[in-house]
């Protein structure tokens, strides 16, 4: 036991004596996690986010098109600015604007006709930056709602609306192919709208009454962020600190492997091998010291997040400790596997850094996995970091119970066994 404890204590001493290692292990992830946490919504989950920049080219100049622009400008998520077609196209191409909406000539009239009689619909062109697909969907949704409100308002209370209704009534009366029941139904509908328009014109109170503003959305939305409990707001720092912790602990594990590779080329390795120490003790002590270091890093990160950003472990504390411990062990085994499979230090550093970055990226430590394509999301099931992230998210801001931590812990321990077995089987003990 004395040699084992000495080996562990020595590793920890070397880690804490190396200021660079401590800074890389603690300060850098704290800085990055703070930055990402702010980007992901900050402490209350509703920090101000940048608006989507949208340009509008009004080629119609009608009351309807102006109403549409007013509707779009009123949306809190859009930053709407007028533009011309050429300028807008150039700005979108350069990435200065996310999308440009082109309202074509006669849009107001054609949209009204299409609304009542099914005539050809006007085409609203949306130019967009292909690197902003997600925002395009949002812009199209907002545009649809705004068009419905602007066009219906104009049709039921505006000058263009009255002209279109009168014109449509005349066409209904004079269409020889229309059946009598259909003619009657359309006459009643359009007649009602005409009567409403005349009443509004007579009273001059076009700004009164519920129908006066045209059609409006028949519902309202009430958003509720589903977190660990009522009145518990989402804290973006919980995810970012978990993600950055995982990233930097993986790099620490990588460092363990590289250090072991380098150690094998030194007199120190000869001295260790000359002592009456088992291989299990030599590798096991390194795994334990790496796990303790990883646990220490995670503890410091979450303590910082707790004190500075109010991140809480809303779920099972035992589950949180379990996930941290399992991930720490997995990282240590990963480092030993790197040392076992590595040939030269330089080559090993190269491919293991790449492997680590892939693990971090696919594990959702940078961005949540739900933004990945479906096939990639399915692939992440075999990525250990994804389970670590799921476990940490579950135990922190999602507020899940211990049962939700069991699967991530089991899978992480499974990876630990796998990596550890590869390390033990492939490790080259002899100083050839």
Do residues 122 and 58 touch, judged by C-beta distance below 8 A?
no
Minimum Å gap between C-beta 3 and another protein is: 5
The number of residues that bind another protein (CB under 8 A) is 27
Least Cβ distance, residue 289 to another protein (angstroms): 13
User: Whole-number minimum distance, CB 265 to another protein, in Å?
Assistant: 8
Q: Which positions ≥6 away from 138 have C-beta within 8 Å?
A: 52, 77
Closer residue to another protein, CB minimum distance, 16 or 317: 16
> Binding of another protein at residue 2 (CB under 8 A)?
yes
Q: Residue 223 to residues 75, 93, 399: CA-CA distances in angstroms?
A: 16, 34, 19
Nearer residue to another protein within complex by CB, 374 or 430: 430
Tell which one of 46, 195, 203, 266 touches another protein (CB under 8 A).
266
Residues 271-310 close enough to bind another protein by CB under 8 A? 271-279
Show the tokens assigned to 32.
């990055």
How distant is the alpha carbon of residue 363 from its chain centre?
13
Q: How far apart are CA 372 and CA 131, in angstroms?
A: 14
Choice from 268, 303, 347, 358 touching another protein (CB under 8 A): 268
**Cβ proximity to another protein, 20 vs 94, nearer residue:** 20
Terminus-to-terminus CA distance in the chain, angstroms?
29
Q: Of 9 and 121, which has the nearer Cβ to another protein?
A: 9
Map the footprint of another protein across residues 13-42, applying CB under 8 A.
13-14, 17-18
Of 261, 285, 268, 269, the residue nearest 337 (C-alpha): 261
Q: By C-beta, is 181 or 267 nearer to another protein?
A: 267
CB of 266 to another protein, least distance (A): 5
Q: Which of 118, 176, 229, 267 binds another protein (CB under 8 A)?
A: 267
Q: How far is the CB of 335 from another protein (least distance, A)?
A: 19
* CA 131-133-135 angle, 5° bins: 110
Residues lying near another protein in the complex (CB under 8 A): 2-3, 5-7, 9-10, 13-14, 17-18, 266-268, 270-279, 430-432
């Amino acid at each position: 036991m004395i040699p084992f404890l000495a080996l562990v204590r020595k590793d920890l001493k070397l880690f804490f004596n190396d200021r660079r290692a401590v800074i890389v292990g603690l300060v850098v992830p704290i800085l990055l996690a703070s930055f990402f946490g702010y980007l992901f919504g900050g402490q209350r989950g509703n920090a101000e986010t940048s608006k989507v920049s949208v340009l509008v080219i009004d080629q119609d100049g009608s009351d309807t098109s102006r109403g549409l622009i007013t509707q779009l400008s009123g949306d809190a998520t859009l930053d709407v600015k007028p533009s011309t077609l050429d300028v807008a196209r150039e700005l979108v191409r350069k990435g200065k604007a996310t999308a440009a909406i082109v309202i074509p000539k006669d849009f107001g009239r054609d949209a009204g006709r299409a609304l009542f009689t099914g005539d050809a619909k006007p085409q609203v062109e949306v130019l967009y930056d292909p690197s902003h697909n997600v925002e395009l969907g949002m812009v199209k949704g907002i545009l649809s709602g705004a068009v419905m409100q602007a066009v219906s308002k104009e049709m039921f209370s505006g000058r263009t609306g009255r002209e279109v209704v009168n014109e449509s009534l005349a066409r209904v009366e004079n269409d020889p192919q229309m059946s009598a029941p259909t003619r009657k139904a359309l006459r009643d509908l359009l007649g009602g709208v005409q009567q409403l328009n005349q009443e509004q014109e007579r009273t001059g109170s076009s700004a009164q009454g519920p129908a006066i503003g045209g059609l409006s959305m028949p519902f309202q939305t009430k958003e509720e962020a589903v977190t660990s409990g009522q009145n518990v707001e989402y804290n973006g720092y919980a995810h970012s600190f978990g993600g950055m912790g995982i990233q930097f602990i993986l790099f620490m594990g990588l460092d363990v492997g590289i250090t072991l590779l380098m150690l094998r080329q030194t007199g120190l390795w000869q001295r260790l091998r000359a002592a009456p120490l088992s291989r299990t003790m030599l590798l096991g002590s390194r795994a334990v010291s790496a796990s303790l270091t990883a646990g220490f890093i995670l503890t410091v990160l979450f303590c910082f997040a707790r004190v500075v950003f109010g991140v809480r472990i809303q779920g099972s504390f035992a589950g949180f400790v379990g996930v941290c411990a399992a991930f720490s062990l997995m990282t240590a085994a990963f480092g030993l596997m790197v040392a076992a499979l590595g040939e030269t230090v330089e080559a090993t550093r190269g491919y293991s850094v790449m492997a680590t970055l892939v693990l971090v990226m696919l594990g959702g430590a940078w961005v949540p996995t739900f933004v990945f394509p479906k096939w990639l999301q399915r692939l992440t099931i075999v990525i250990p970091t994804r389970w670590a992230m799921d476990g940490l998210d579950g135990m922190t801001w999602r507020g899940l119970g211990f049962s939700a931590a069991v699967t991530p812990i089991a899978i992480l321990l499974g990876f630990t066994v796998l990596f550890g077995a590869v390390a033990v089987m492939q490790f080259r003990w002899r100083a050839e």
